[in-house]
Amino acid sequence: MFNVTNWINYPKELLAIRKVREVIVVEGRYDKNSVAQAVSAVIIETSGFRVFSDKQKLALLRRLAGKRGLIILTDSDGAGFFIRGRLRGMLGETDVKHAYIPDVTGREKRKTSPSQEGKLGVEGMRPEVILGALERAGATFIDEPASNVEQTRITKTDMYTAGLSGSAGSAGKRRELLKQLELPERLPANSLLDVLNALYTREEFFFLLNLP
């Protein structure tokens, strides 16, 4: 098995959080947390095998693939490769890249026993290992100054101004927006902002909602 300590030695200056253009697809929320420690990106969970019966989420993934491109980053066990293979077929000829983590034996800290195959998943990878996997997959790193990025991004303040958060009726307005934009009705409120930023610029968002 692979020894993760010998995977790669990154200079400290390269371990600063880098922004990835593509949307990263992972299996679950613990994987999402680990990836978020390595890069800044929109991260979508498949919720394991449930994505295969979720037509709305599959449609969202196709839209995101066309708009930003996807990087599929699943575990290195049989289940992870099954999810990766099914998504490859279901998403069709879209802009999809594949990132692979190494085979590493071990157990994630939150678990009382190793996985069935005894391998660490994405959840158990160090940030530099995840970064290396994304680089080898051909991830597009955005090196724009933070000020330029912030000017084009939809913010939490914009969501509040639009009545989509922090006020009476916000939940209803979010449901209306999800329906209008043909987004999954079960998309969590804390994921909506990321998805909107992946699909629309701030100017386009204001236009959609008729905001000044």
Mean of pLDDT values over 150-155: 75
Nearest Cα residue to 23 out of 95, 91, 75: 95
CATH code 3.40.1360.10 region(s) in the chain: 4-142
Amino acid at 60: L
9-13, 68-72, 175-179, 181-185: lowest mean pLDDT where? Answer: 9-13
Mean of pLDDT values over 170-183: 91
| Per-residue pLDDT tens digits for 90-104 | 998 778 999 999 988
Mean pLDDT across the chain: 86
Q: Which pLDDT score, from 0 to 100, does residue 23 have?
A: 96
69-78, 137-146, 164-173: lowest mean pLDDT where? Answer: 137-146
Nearest Cα residue to 22 out of 49, 54, 44, 1: 44
Q: Where are the beta strands (DSSP E) in the chain?
A: 18-20, 23-26, 39-40, 43-45, 70-74, 96-100, 141-142
8-22, 41-55, 102-116, 168-182: lowest mean pLDDT where? Answer: 8-22
| Per-residue pLDDT tens digits for 31-74 | 999 999 999 999 999 999 999 999 999 999 999 999 999 999 99
Nearest Cα residue to 109 out of 121, 95, 92, 96: 121
Mean of pLDDT values over 174-203: 88
Topology of the domain covering 4-142: Dna Topoisomerase Vi A Subunit; Chain: A, domain 2 (3.40.1360)
Q: pLDDT band for position 1 (50/70/90)?
A: very low
> Length of the chain in residues, anyone?
212
